[in-house]
Structures are given as C-alpha cells and as structure tokens.
Amino acid sequence: MQPPPSGERALRTPRAAGLAGVVFALLFAAAIVLIRIGIPEGVEAATAVGRTDAARRNAVHTALALVPFAGILFLWFAGVVRSHLGEVEDRFLATVFLGSGLVFVATMFGAAAAAAAVLDIVHTPGSTAGLRTWDFGSHFAYTLMTGYAMRMAAVFICSLSVLGHRRGVLPRWLALLGFLATLVLLFVSSNVPWAELAFPAWSLVLSGYLLVVTYRPRPSVTAAT
C-alpha cells in the first residue's frame, strides 16, 4: 500500500494543530478563571482562599489539576504548527518560537507546582504555617505566571505572527491580532487582572482559523500512475 500523497499529509497537520490548540485554549482559560475566582484580587489571603471556604480551595485545586494537561496539549499544538510551517520557516524565528514555547510551559508548571505546594502546606491539619507562608507562595506563583510565563507567551505569539506574516502563512488580520496580544501580555498582564486570558483567546482564534482552512474544499490529488 502506497503512503498517502503529500497533499493529504498536509491536510492532517493543521487539523491536528487546530484541535490541540482549541483544547489547550479551553483548559488554560478554565484554569485562569478558576484561579481568579478562588483567589480574587484585593481580598486578604485569609478570606480569599479561606481556611473554612472549601469552595474556593476546590476551585484552585481544580485549576492546578488542569495545568499539566494544558501544558501537554500546548506542546502538541506548538509542535504541529511548526511542522505545518515546514520549509517556509525562518531558522531564527523558528528557534525563538520553539524556545519561548518551551520556557512558557516550564514556567507555567513551576508556578502551578509552587501554588500547589503552599496550598497543601497551609491547609494541612496541624500545620504551623501561617499567612506569611501563604503570602510568599501565592506571590511567587503569581509572579512566575503573570511576570514570566505570560511574557514568554508574548514572545511565542510575536515570533509566530512575524513568521506567518512574512511567509504568507497567516492572514494580515491574524498577524495584527497576534501583535496586539503580544503587547497586552508584555505590558499589561502583570498589572491588570484577567489580561492573561489574551493568550488562550489568541490560541483559540488561531486554532479556529487552522480548522476553517483545513475544511475548505481543496483540489483533489491525482494519484500517480
């Protein structure tokens, strides 16, 4: 049996990227929303997570449980998008694109691990850890996520947008949307709550575009005689 033509293989790549990107965007957005609900801005730590507020603690635990799966799907999404670019990719931009994506995942995992550790320590029965421990852990996790992970996400978006626009892989409007998301994540996400949702929103739009392009009618590939 002969392998499928290159045209058919090209159809599978953006579809896989689109599906992985959609699931990543939904999981990561859900994690952000649950974290913001569980630890709202401007509320003291004792009442935000609440030693007696099980609902807020469960929201944070659920968010942390989603992070590993979001990271795995993001790596799949980034890898398949890079494969889709194929020979048109620029080595410099492709290196920045891949490196920033890997650092984003590592930083996101670090923030989730820090948050999970301090949450378990503070709420362990008989634990002597107080609010200072929680304040340190929560600020450390927030700094990793909003100060570092989101800036790596901005580099990831910017490099892909430049590459896609320069090589004609992405439409102009999608490249401009990527540049706007880059500015938000670089300069706003660490100071404005909910601004980090710009990353999953951009990922969802890009994934939707890949899926739409995939399902457009294409000329049939004639098998070689």
Lowest mean pLDDT segment, chosen from 53-62, 70-79, 149-158, 196-205: 53-62
pLDDT at 193 over 90: no
- The beta-carbon contacts of 70-73 under 8 Å, at least 24 apart in sequence, are 70/24, 70/27, 70/28, 70/31, 70/108, 71/105, 71/108, 71/109, 73/20, 73/21, 73/23, 73/24, 73/27
Q: What is the pLDDT of residue 88?
A: 61
Predicted confidence (pLDDT) per residue in 58-90, tens digit: 888 899 999 999 999 999 888 878 776 666 667
pLDDT score recorded for residue 142: 84
Three-class DSSP labels, 108-157: HHHHHHHHHHHHHHHCCCCCCCCHHHHHHHHHHHHHHHHHHHHHHHHHHH
> For 6-17, what is each residue's pLDDT tens digit?
444 443 455 666
Task: Say what the pLDDT of residue 79 is.
Answer: 82
pTM, two decimal places: 0.81
